[in-house]
Amino acid sequence: MTFNEFVFYLFAAILVFAALRVITARNPVHAALFLVLAFATSAGIWIQLQAEFLAIALVLVYVGAVMVLFLFVVMMLDINMTRLREGFAAYLSLGALVALVLVVEMVIVLGGQYFGLTGSPPPPPLPADYSNTRELGRLVYTDYVYPFEIAAVILLVAIVAAIALTLRRRKETKYQDPARQIAVRRKDRVRIVKMPAEKRD
Amino acid sequence: MSGVLQPFVSLGHWAWGLLVTIVVWIFGHDLAPSVLYAIKVLLLIICIVAPLMVAVAYLTLWERKLIGWMQVRIGPNRVTFFGIRWLGGLAQPIADGLKLLVKEIIVPAGANKFLFLLAPVMAIMPALAAWAVVPFDPELVLANIDASLLYIMAVTSMGVYGIIIAGWASNSKYAFLGAMRSAAQIVSYELAMGFALVGVLMAAQSLNLVEVVRGQQGSYGFLNWFWIPLFPLFLTYLIAGIAETNRAPFDVAEGESEIVAGFHVEYSGMTFAVFFLAEYANMILVSTLCSVMFLGGWLSPFPASWPVLGAPNFLWLLVKVFLVVSTFLWFRATFPRYRYDQIMRLGWKVFIPVALTWIVVLGAWMQTPLWVWWK
């Protein structure tokens, strides 16, 4: 076993363990933290595949931003496990269907050689100055510029929609208008009243 | 400078030769190169981390002294080495470190012990790991990887986990409030910081930090640095950096007047010290990155034609980092703490629009002959 293989199997074992704990952990915060571990480990495996841009983007986007917000929400929720279990039977059939689809997909991918699919040859070794990031940028902005732009527009629509959801005004919420706060002058708030001092008896 | 260092270099060569002989003798000729490589990288890591830890220790002293002078106080002036009077105060960080080292680590009742102890580790890990790609010199960089700017962003974005886990695992309301504030604040300011870095990589035409500094080379000294064409992004990065490291005036995560000490209120002894180390190591890291990306790294501020002063040198980087770190301390001594909604407003409604606008301006500017920062 070469050092490379050893690293791969180590990372794969950690990844499988973390992924299992995500669905078996009782505490939702522990589950979310195991998901973070799973993301970080798969980033390590991607680096072994020389896909360093994707690996760093995975850590940056999912570990650094998405999971932070996820944890943020999970920590604040009051999760009642007994109430969550109530709907178990109702969702069982749907869950079983999804699981079945996943199993079929995995069988097709992993057992490709039994269905007449031959594995693609390993990619040729890359030169030392090969830049994964530059190559990806070149592809995305030249050959695949239209799909990329369409994806960007869809994301923009999602952003606008998410912001629009927060725009409803609630009566009990108090807003502060910084422009008005800054524009306040002394005479608006303080009135100096001159009063004669009380007469001494 | 090379003349002064010559004896050390010779000594180093001699020690390395001795080490090579021993390793070859133990592991044989086949394994020796990889073992030697591992030892070399480990030694280089020690060469970066050990001075960093000393710098962190003395930064705490410098902070107390500088803020003391700004507030017309004296600052620490008692603890000294071997009772020598005029070294008064210089041993203070070492005394503090020893005190924290021997104090008891108290785990609160009902706390999640594993996560409680993991949190400080998660806080200091990114603060140290990011130094792997920081260039101190054209040759003096541990890992000169192609996408070092991206690596820095990815690694530093993991720093918030230490704070969140600490807040949650402590089983304390104050710690939890601090963690929640910090999570929202760091995610917000990371966006502005990321946009500032986009401007840097556009101007430098590279994601590699060594190339970023090379892009600022020129015969006009400090006028060639990126802080001029990227001035709004420079300010955005500097201020977002202060917010990212939870320093005053953005220190609502600690907010000692409201939530005692925020996320590390339950921590004592060495676990607290590790949080402290992480915060100061992050401060030095942000200052170093600021110096590398906007202030020309190891380049001299004087025109290249000047003798001695115009030459690029590692010492220039040290001077720049020192000045930027001192600005951090100056801010702490000057500004009152921001209110939470003001922080959010500043991040989302001021910095992100400013950075986005400047990226567009920069893109247009780079297409015109007015752009004079080409390598």
pTM of the model: 0.84
Q: Which H or E run contains A178?
A: helix A178-183
B72-B78-B84-B86 Cα dihedral, nearest 10 degrees: 0
Mean pLDDT rounded to a whole number for chain B: 84
Instruction: Return the pLDDT at B307.
Output: 76
Residues B305-353: pLDDT tens digits?
777 777 777 888 889 999 999 999 999 888 888 888 888 888 888 899 9
Residues B143-185: pLDDT tens digits?
788 888 888 888 888 888 888 888 888 888 888 888 888 888 8
Nearest CB neighbour to B157, from listed A64, A75, A132: A64
Residue B114, pLDDT > 80, answer yes
**Around B345, how many Cα atoms within 13 Å sit in the side-chain half-sphere?**
10
CA-atom Rg of chain A in angstroms:
29
Question: Residue A66's closest chain B neighbor by CA?
Answer: B187
Shortest distance between the Cα of B163 and any Cα of chain A, in A, equals 11
Q: By the CB < 8 Å criterion, does A60 face chain B?
A: yes
Q: Is A64 close to B207, i.e. CB distance below 8 A?
A: no
Residue of B173, B187, B206 to mutate, interface with A, max A Cβ within 10 Å: B187
Instruction: Return the pLDDT at B170.
Output: 85
Residue B3: pLDDT band with limits 50, 70, 90? low
Q: Which chain B residues touch A if contact means CB-CB below 8 Å?
A: 34, 115, 145-147, 150-151, 153-155, 157-158, 160-161, 164-165, 168, 176, 179-180, 183-184, 186-187, 190, 207, 341-342, 345
Question: According to DSSP H, which parts of B170-250 are helical?
Answer: 173-204, 209-214, 231-244
Instruction: Return the pLDDT at A72.
Output: 81
Residue B375, pLDDT > 70, answer no
Q: How far apart are CA B27 and CA B203, in angstroms?
A: 48
Instruction: Return the pLDDT at A18.
Output: 92
Residues 6+ apart with CB under 8 A from B79: B88, B89, B90, B91, B92, B94, B95
Shortest distance between the Cα of B190 and any Cα of chain A, in A, equals 9
3-state secondary structure B102-146: HCCCCCCCCCCHHHHHHHHHHHHHHHHHHHHHCCCCCCCCCCCCC
Shortest distance between the Cα of A110 and any Cα of chain B, in A, equals 32
Residue B2, pLDDT > 70, answer no
How wide is the angle at C-alpha B371 spanned by C-alphas B199 and B354, nearest 5°? 35
Average pLDDT over every residue of B119-142:
86
Residue B136, pLDDT > 70, answer yes
Q: Which two tokens stand for residue A58?
A: 């995975």
Q: Is A64 close to B190, i.e. CB distance below 8 A?
A: yes
Instruction: Return the pLDDT at A25.
Output: 82
Q: Is A116 exposed, middle or buried (0-12, 13-18, 19+ CB in 10 A)?
A: exposed
DSSP B86: G
Residue of A34, A53, A68 to mutate, interface with B, max B Cβ within 10 Å: A68
Residues B222-279: pLDDT tens digits?
888 888 888 999 999 999 989 888 887 888 777 777 777 778 888 888 888 898 888 8
Q: How far is residue A129 CA from its own chain's centroid? A: 31
Residue B4, pLDDT > 70, answer no
Instruction: Return the pLDDT at B5.
Output: 66
Instruction: Return the pLDDT at A20.
Output: 92
Instruction: Return the pLDDT at B284.
Output: 92
Instruction: Return the pLDDT at A26.
Output: 81
Q: By the CB < 8 Å criterion, does A131 face chain B?
A: yes
Name the nearest CA neighbour of A40 among B157, B103, B68, B169: B157
Name the nearest CA neighbour of B226 among B131, B140, B286, B290: B290
Instruction: Return the pLDDT at B204.
Output: 85
pLDDT digit string (tens) for chain A, length 201 residues:
677 888 889 999 999 999 999 888 888 888 888 999 999 999 999 888 888 888 888 888 888 888 888 888 888 877 666 676 777 777 888 889 999 999 999 888 887 777 766 666 767 777 767 777 888 888 888 889 999 999 999 999 999 999 888 887 777 777 777 788 888 888 888 888 888 888 776
Average pLDDT over every residue of B116-142:
86
Residues of chain B above pLDDT 90, percent: 13
CA-atom Rg of chain B in angstroms:
22
